[in-house]
Chains A and B, each alone.
Chain A
Amino acid sequence: MIGPVPHEYAIGGVYLPPMLVAAVLGLIAVLVTVRLLNRFRWSRYFAYPPLVFVSLIVIYTVFTGTFIIGA
């Protein structure tokens, strides 16, 4: 299976590296996820949420970069 081709994103003539776009999307996804986890009190099942937070950023960024953005 061939993933999306890595390419820069242009916003108003500003070229952004794909990894940056993937990281921003990953961060937004994580913020939504942790809000939901807090809302439904599922975060209490994690021993150290700050570490989970960073791990989720890495996972979402890699996922978005590999399958959606093409970083």
Chain B
Amino acid sequence: MILSRKAKEAIKTALAMTIAYGIALSMDWDRPYWAGFAVAFVSQATVGLSVNRAALRMLGTVLAAIVALSLIAGFAQDRWLFILSMLPFVCFCCYMMGGPKYQYFWQVSGFVVIIVCFDSGPDPVNAFDTAVLRVQETGLGILVYSLVALFIWPVHSRSQFETVARDLAATQHQLFAAYRSLMSGEEGKAKEASQIRAQQAQQQARFGQLLNAAISDSYEVRELQQPWRQYQGSVQKLATVMERWHDSFAETRTMDLTRLLPGLPAYLDEIDHRLEQIGLMLAGEAPQRRPGPVELTLDSKATGILSHFDRAAIAVLYRRMQALEDITRAAFDALSGIRGYGQAPPIAGPARPRPRFLPDPDRLACVARFLTIVLAAYLAFIYVEGWPGGAGFVGMAGALGMALVNAPQLPISKIYAPVTVSALSAGVLYIFVMPQLATFLGLGALIFAVTLVICYSFAEPQQMLGRAFGLALFVVIASISNEQTYNFLGFATTVMMFAVMIPMLALTVYFPISWRPERVFLRQLRRFFRSCDVLISTVDRPGGGSINRRDRWRKAFHLQEVATLPNKLGTWAPRIDPAALADATPEDVRNLVAGLGELSLRMQAMVEASKPVKSEALVQALEGDMRSWSASVQGAFQHLSDNPAAATAITFRARLTEIMDGLEQRIEDVLDRSSENQMGPTGAETFYSLLGAYRGVSEALVSYAGLTERINWDAWREERF
């Protein structure tokens, strides 16, 4: 009989859980379910993923134990001092948990501090024992699962990593082909390109996860860790550069590109070949050819007869295509070095760390929600006599609260069914089956069977919540220990604790900040336009290098907002209540988010283009006009940040078009009166980049105004619970 992968994974977790319980009970350790928890939550699809998660859980638990013991040593005498000294660390963990690195480490650190503090705080004499017990049982669970995963049907990450790397390269090749078609005017490819882009984003995230996992469990990948990281960087940059290249098509749509860029067909063929060769190398074959020279030039004669705005647009396109050439060559070289088909490029030094701390308002809102959960649980525990669960209620609320704020988009209603089914099933086992068991043989078989059924039934990634609740409620309700007692009150208290806790968690959807998807969407939309407004105000500042440190920080913060908010809006858009959409369709909302993504890219391009410090003579001559353009666009952004519906008015669109036409005319006049030689070669490039960026922002804004018309913003803005 051949077992499915799902069955094998379920058997491994069930076996690890049984062994962990067996060891903990034979050592006569109190609360063996902590070892069971560790097994349940570190089990992942491959050895590498599990080992990474296990390491983060272990380190998080150790840090939490140290912090919790320090807090108990210093502040256990006063309950308010105790909670106030604990909250800053827990809130810090909650904030860090939303960051790009070590999310699980911070999550574990945060909730384990609460669990240890509330387990030991009321009984400080045994605090050290409790903290050490938590650490050793977590270590036991991790060790047992790691050994089981290594010796029984081991699944190393390397093959999955190689598959994802191949898929990602194929997707990027397809995306390039789709953009090439779009560039040549095949508008029908736009929808296909959008789907491929979404697929690329998912594969990029998976590539990063599996690379980390493969480094942990595969010697071949670990040996080439640096070159693989370099290739990962090239792939990420390639995705960005292709987006920017695609972003230039709107302005160059009407131009005869093959005449303006004489080497264009050869250039596109060359990039296509490079991406094809990358795919071949990832499939284990030798490349049939190496990257050749590319001769893509701007025909000065043909561009000379274009309007200045068109000249700016073609200059921007040309620059982005050069960047595409560079990055495909770098990706090819990095991979050929890894596969041994060529000299590996020198490894770049470590990336410069982020120079300053830039807060993320969404992560701060998550902290506020988490703080509300913990404080509400604490106040209930202190002031309501006989509150179910007692101090354990606060610990459980902290752990669940951490998980909840980590995925704020997830509707709380999704946990009702798993909790109810798990609690009732665990109750039946606890009341009717467990009292019949007398030896570990029977108990072990029960633990194995229950874990197997839960892990097999909830094996898919989207069923993780059901699996986590199923296992957690089983180990909590069964309360397996060497001196096993059976008490209906214990079961009823645990059920009551969850029955009270879940409405409390549901309450935080409304208070203190509303987490209804349409409210979050509107908040983020306002922030996006406010940040655009601030960025526009910084761009037209003469002598940009002389701004002070506070202004530079502010600019970096708003740039981060503009760069990240479209993705965040994209995650909330599918969750919006259909009733709030009124006549609009989910497709309209997706288009709106795509429009914001385009505006975001153009704002970033504009900030980049405005970096040169010293204005050239011609730029100085047009400074007044550009300032008036900035003021007009800034006004538009201010309107939009106050009211996203402002863009629906026809007059608003007309005004933007009028501003753009007026600016174009004035620039044409000034440039026609001046000689282009005044600018010099670098000056011309700077000027056209800036002009292209200005035009790009205007076009994206007008296009956004068109997209908002189908949305009934009044329904979204209406106050609702």
Contact = CB atoms under 8 A, between A and B. Distances in A.
Nearest to A37: B721
B579 to A, nearest CB: 9
A49 B384 contact: no
A34 B503 CA distance: 14
23 contacts: A11-B492, A12-B488, A13-B489, A16-B386, A17-B384, A20-B386, A20-B500, A24-B499, A24-B500, A27-B507, A38-B720, A46-B719, A47-B719, A49-B719, A49-B720, A50-B510, A50-B511, A50-B514, A53-B507, A53-B510, A54-B510, A54-B511, A57-B507
A13 B489 CA distance: 7
Contacts of B512: 50
Interface string B493-512: 10010011001000100111
Which of A14, A38, A50, A54 counts the most chain B CB atoms within 10 A?
A50
> What 5 A-B pairs come out closest when comparing CB atoms?
A34-B721, A50-B511, A14-B492, A17-B386, A50-B510
Contacts of B81: none
B510 A49 contact: yes
B376 to A, nearest CB: 10
Nearest to B386: A17
Given A13-B492, A41-B718, A50 B513 contact: yes
Contacts of A69: none
B385 interface: yes
B249 interface: no
Contacts of B75: none
B387 interface: yes
Interface in B466-518: 488-489, 492-493, 496, 499-500, 503, 507, 510-514
B386 A15 contact: yes
A2 to B, nearest CB: 23
Contacts of A23: 384
B720 A53 contact: no
B493 A14 contact: yes
Contacts of B503: 24, 27
A38 B721 contact: yes
A37 B510 CA distance: 14
A44 B500 CA distance: 29
Contacts of A48: 719
A45 B719 CA distance: 7
Interface residues of B, number: 23
Contacts of A53: 507, 510-511, 721
Nearest to B503: A27
A41 B512 CA distance: 22
Contacts, number: 68
Contacts of B514: 49-50
Nearest to A33: B721
A51 interface: yes
Nearest to B511: A50
Interface of A: 8, 11-17, 19-20, 23-24, 27, 34, 37-38, 41, 43-54, 57
Nearest to B385: A17
Which of B488, B493, B503, B513 counts the most chain A CB atoms within 10 A?
B503
A46 B718 CA distance: 10
Contacts of A16: 386, 388, 496
Interface in B126-158: none
Contacts of B492: 11-14
A61 B406 CA distance: 31
A20 to B, nearest CB: 6
A53 B387 CA distance: 23
B489 A14 contact: yes
A36 B718 CA distance: 15
B511 A51 contact: yes
Given A27-B503, A37-B721, A43-B718, 9 more contacts: A11-B492, A14-B492, A16-B496, A34-B721, A46-B719, A49-B719, A51-B511, A53-B510, A57-B507
A37 B493 CA distance: 34
A44 B720 contact: yes
A25 B627 CA distance: 61
Nearest to B493: A14
B384 A20 contact: yes
A19 B499 CA distance: 15
Contacts of B721: 34, 37-38, 43, 49-50, 52-53
A65 B384 CA distance: 14
Contacts of B496: 14, 16
Which of B499, B511, B512 counts the most chain A CB atoms within 10 A?
B511
A62 to B, nearest CB: 14
B647 to A, nearest CB: 22
B511 to A, nearest CB: 4
Given A14-B492, A43-B721, A19 B510 contact: no
Which of B385, B386, B387 counts the most chain A CB atoms within 10 A?
B386
A59 to B, nearest CB: 15
